[in-house]
Amino acid sequence: MHHKRVVAACILAASVTAVSGCNDPHTTSLAYAGQTMVVCGGQHVITASGSTAQANAMVHFIDAFGKACPGQSLNYNPTGSGVGINEFLAGKTDFAGSDTPLNAEQSVAAKQRCGGAEAWNLPVVFGPLAITYNLDAVDFLVLDAPTIAKIFNGTVKRWDDPAITALNASMPSEEIHVIYRSDPSGSTDNFQAYLQAASGGAWNKGTGKNFNGGVGTGAIGNEGTSSAVKNTEGAITYNELSFAMQHGLFAAEIKTPASRKSLRPVRIGTDSVGKTISSAKIVGNGNDLVLDVSGFYNPSQPDVYPIVLAVYEIVCSKYPSPEVGTAVKAFLQSTVGAGQYDLDKHGYIPLPPEFQSRVATAVSAIS
């Protein structure tokens, strides 16, 4: 692949002020991360695992935590959402990162893991899923949901298939190499939910964290799928925008039913993704901030990007260990504050104002 980069506009970061330091992190002290107060203290090092989609954001969040609360840190292992949830439920980690919220069965198990307290799903960052590809001499590609579904279920096998050339003037006569997530993944769950909702019946493989397409080559994590596409001519995958940017991959523009009216496909960008996020509604109870993202997949407006995932931090509302609870709260306070600054440089969308204060309120209620 030669000189390829993501065709995406910059994503606007939230405006936050600088961070001031804490004192000894193991006595309660105060810092201010942007407009969010950080109450430092508790355990020196906390652990988490899960979503690979937020791995690059976590580097940024950990840095913000260290600046707000010197001497405290987080070890984050990007294992994938499914593994991360399982490790949290087993008590191996202090919280989990997931591209999908806990289901009913997992919520019951989480309550037991949390010593009888409810677990909360807290959306911390939004990331567009890009349809990325590697085709020499093709630096502009338009796809729609029915065609994407047919590629990922093996119906469309070549780049010059009529389904693709109907959307693109000229395509090479090459075989398509599908790359998919081989690990349980919230990105896969979101991707398949999009296909099921938007493909007009072309995707009949169902949803879930395991890829159901029955075609292609598996790779672990967003890093794995990005690397595989970069090294494979004719390859295509779905991955979080941050990793596509990191590997210099092209992203397809998406034609939606609404965009057909304007005759323009939708490109990943500040406006197109921001409009998507604005349609999300909180459907969880109290401080359990589960979002209804079903409106993302079939937007009614022409310039709205349809594949955006919310990354949740899954936490105990009250931890069996107060030391852990204090540290998790401090980490998330810095994340919701200064951690949102400059996320656009890493391929993420910071929390919109309508969510930021709500998430900050929930985080402050952790004990």
The Cα 97–Cα 61 span in angstroms is 13
Give the rounded distance of the alpha carbon of 271 from its chain centre.
18
CATH 3.40.190.10 for domain 35-126+277-365, yes or no, is yes
Separation between Cα atoms, residue 341 and residue 335, nearest integer Å: 9
pLDDT, one tens digit per residue, over 271-295 is: 788 888 888 889 999 999 999 988 8
List the chain domain ranges.
Answer: 35-126+277-365, 128-273
| Virtual torsion, Cα 122, 104, 305, 129, nearest 10 deg | 80
Q: Tell me how long the chain is.
A: 367
∠34-36-275 over CA atoms, to 5°?
Answer: 75
| pLDDT > 70? residue 302 | yes
**CA distances in angstroms from 134 to 4, 96, 148, 262, listed in the order given:** 8, 32, 15, 28
Given pLDDT bands bounded at 50, 70 and 90, which one contains residue 125?
Answer: confident
pLDDT on residue 83: 93
Burial class (CB in 10 A: 0-12, 13-18, 19+), 43: buried
Q: What is the pLDDT of residue 23?
A: 35
Percentage of residues of the chain with pLDDT beyond 90: 71
Residue 133 pLDDT exceeds 80: yes
User: For domain 128-273, which CATH number applies: 3.30.930.10, 3.40.190.10, 3.40.50.970, 3.60.110.10?
Assistant: 3.40.190.10
Q: Mean per-residue pLDDT for 143-153?
A: 98
Mean pLDDT of 184-196: 93
CA distance 257 to 264: 11
pLDDT (mean) for 136-148 = 96
Residue 116 pLDDT exceeds 80: yes
pLDDT tens-place string over residues 19-60? 223 333 333 444 444 567 899 999 999 999 999 889 999 999
Q: What is the four-CA torsion angle of 6, 7, 8, 9, rounded to 10 degrees?
A: 120
pLDDT given at position 286: 96
Residue 299's Cα: distance from chain center in Å?
19
- Report whether pLDDT(310) > 50: yes
Give yes or no on whether 35-126+277-365 and 128-273 have one common fold.
yes
pLDDT digits (tens, 9 = 90+) for 317-340: 999 999 999 999 999 999 999 999
The DSSP annotation for 88-127 comes to HHTTSSSEEEESS---HHHHHHHHHHTTTPPEEEEEEEEE
**Is 160:172 a contact under the CB 8 Å cutoff?**
yes
| Chain CA centroid to CA 66, Å | 23
Angstrom distance (rounded) from CA 7 to CA 260: 20
- Average pLDDT, stretch 104-109? 98
Closest CA to 100 of 77, 127, 75: 127
**Alpha-helical segments (H) within the chain:** 55-68, 81-89, 104-113, 145-152, 162-165, 186-198, 221-230, 241-246, 257-262, 270-277, 322-336, 353-364
Classify residue 19 by its DSSP letter: B
CB–CB of 78/52 below 8 Å? Answer: yes
The candidate with the shortest Cα–Cα distance to 274, out of 195, 342, 338, 355, is: 355
Q: Report whether 89 contacts 113 (CB < 8 A).
A: yes
